[in-house]
Every structure is written in structure tokens, then in C-alpha cells.
């Protein structure tokens, strides 16, 4: 479904000091598979997610989606417009801090990826409402983000990530701002949704108990991925 092959990434700091973040990462994600990545803060977990989601460019290596090379030879094989369309249709993103649009209701936030893809208003909002209902927010459709709890906001973000039926969802510390009870509920929802929608999930998390329940778990350490 999604592959990273020999991914390298380094950053140059003021004073010309170079830090190697990713040192030849290989990762293959199968259809409907749940993959978790754990590791210390600053170990490169989020950097890897950004590479997989084409939000940032590797220094070298390949990103392959369904057998098609998206990044290779030091450049993207798609134009900026094609790359944006690819992300919108094929990759879902769940961020630690939600990034919901404050002036839009829950159902409007969830429907936004469909609007961006040119979908019609009524069908998009109908589907968004179904997703929110499935996530236990059927009675919160018309609430603004400021009127929702942290756990509710994160469920809205998950529904938004699923809106365009992506093949892969990339989630960066989705429970980072939640207490243990809400974290457990959120991870159970993610697991059930992944199976129901046959969506692959790659999740960066500090919750090692949850990470261990995934199909595969890796630890990021010294710029490399190690199976747990």
C-alpha cells in the first residue's frame, strides 16, 4: 500500500551543524494494517510521518504508493497540483492539536476535504454526519470546535481524515492531549474504524500499551526503525 525505501533526512542548524534525523528508513504498510511507531521525543517519528504524507521531502530514498513512485531520484514525480490532489484523495491526517477550523461546525470541518475535492455540499455533509454519528458525535454536528471537549475535537479530526476514504491515515500523537480514559476510547475507535473501512493506519504514539496491540510496532531510535 505505502512504502518508504532507504529514507534519509538531515537538517542544517545555525553555524552549519548538520543533524541526521532519518538514516535509511525502510517501512512497508499493508492494506488495512495498523502500524505504530514509538520512541523518544525528537527521535524523528514526526519527520517520518511527514515524509510518508509527502508534506516534506527526503534527502534521498523513495516513497511508493500502490506500486507507483511518488518520490524518487531526489524529487517528487508529481506536480504540486497533482501532489495536493494525491494527499486529498489518498492520505488522511490526524494531528495532535486537531487543526480544526474555528469558524466552522463539526460537520463542516469533517466535510471540508470533500469540498476541496469538488464534492457537492449536501452529499458531503450527509456523509460527514454519518461519520460523526459513528464516532459518537451525532448530537454535536453543529457545534463549533470551541464548544467541544478535547476528546470530541480529536474525534472530529479522525472523521475528517476518513472523509475521502483514504487508503492510509497518518496520525501524530492523536491522544497526546487526552487523559488515559479518553485515550483508550480514542484508540479503540481508531482500531474499529480501520477494520471497518479497510484503512491502513500509521500512528506515532507515546502510549506503549496501545502500540503493542497494533499489527506491527516499531521503535524509532538513532534515526532507525527497530521492530518491537
pLDDT confidence of residue 63:
95
Please report, in tens digits, the pLDDT of each residue of the chain (228 residues total): 899 999 999 988 887 788 899 999 999 999 889 999 999 888 899 999 999 999 999 999 999 999 999 999 899 999 999 999 999 999 999 987 778 999 999 999 999 999 988 888 899 999 999 999 988 899 999 999 999 998 899 889 999 999 999 999 999 988 777 777 777 777 887 888 778 778 899 999 988 888 888 899 999 998 899 998
Q: Do residues 55 and 63 make contact, with C-beta atoms less than 8 angstroms apart? A: no
pTM, two decimal places: 0.90
Q: Which residue is listed with cell 454519518?
A: 130
Q: 2-227 belongs to which homologous superfamily?
A: P-loop containing nucleotide triphosphate hydrolases (3.40.50.300)
207: which 3 cell numbers?
A: 502510549
- Break the chain down into helix, strand, coil percent, rounded to 5: 35, 30, 35
CB atoms within 10 A of CB 146: 9
**Which of these, 214, 89, 70, lies nearest to 162 by C-alpha position?**
89
Amino acid at each position: 500500500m505505502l512504502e518508504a525505501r532507504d529514507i534519509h533526512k538531515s537538517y542544517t542548524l545555525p553555524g552549519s551543524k548538520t543533524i541526521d534525523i532519518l538514516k535509511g528508513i525502510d517501512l512497508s504498510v499493508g492494506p488495512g494494517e495498523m502500524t505504530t511507531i514509538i520512541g523518544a521525543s525528537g527521535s524523528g517519528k514526526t519527520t517520518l510521518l511527514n515524509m510518508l504524507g509527502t508534506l516534506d521531502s527526503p534527502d534521498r530514498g523513495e516513497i511508493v504508493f500502490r506500486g507507483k513512485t511518488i518520490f524518487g531520484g531526489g524529487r517528487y514525480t508529481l506536480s504540486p497540483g497533482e501532489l495536493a490532489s494525491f494527499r486529498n484523495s489518498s492520505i488522511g491526517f490526524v494531528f495532535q492539536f486537531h487543526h480544526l477550523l474555528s469558524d466552522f461546525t463539526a460537520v463542516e470541518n469533517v466535510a471540508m476535504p470533500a469540498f476541496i475535492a469538488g464534492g457537492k455540499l449536501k452529499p458531503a455533509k450527509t456523509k460527514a454526519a454519518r461519520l460523526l454519528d459513528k464516532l459518537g458525535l451525532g448530537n454535536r454536528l453543529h457545534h463549533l470546535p470551541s464548544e467541544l471537549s478535547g476528546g470530541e475535537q480529536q474525534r472530529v479530526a479522525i472523521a475528517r481524515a476518513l472523509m475521502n476514504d483514504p487508503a492510509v491515515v497518518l496520525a501524530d500523537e492523536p491522544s497526546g492531549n487526552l487523559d488515559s480514559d479518553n485515550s483508550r476510547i480514542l484508540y479503540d475507535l481508531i482500531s474499529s474504524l480501520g477494520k471497518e473501512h479497510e484503512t491502513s493506519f500509521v500512528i506515532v504514539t507515546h502510549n506503549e500499551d496501545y502500540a503493542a496491540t497494533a499489527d506491527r510496532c516499531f521503535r524509532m531510535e538513532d534515526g532507525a526503525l527497530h521492530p518491537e
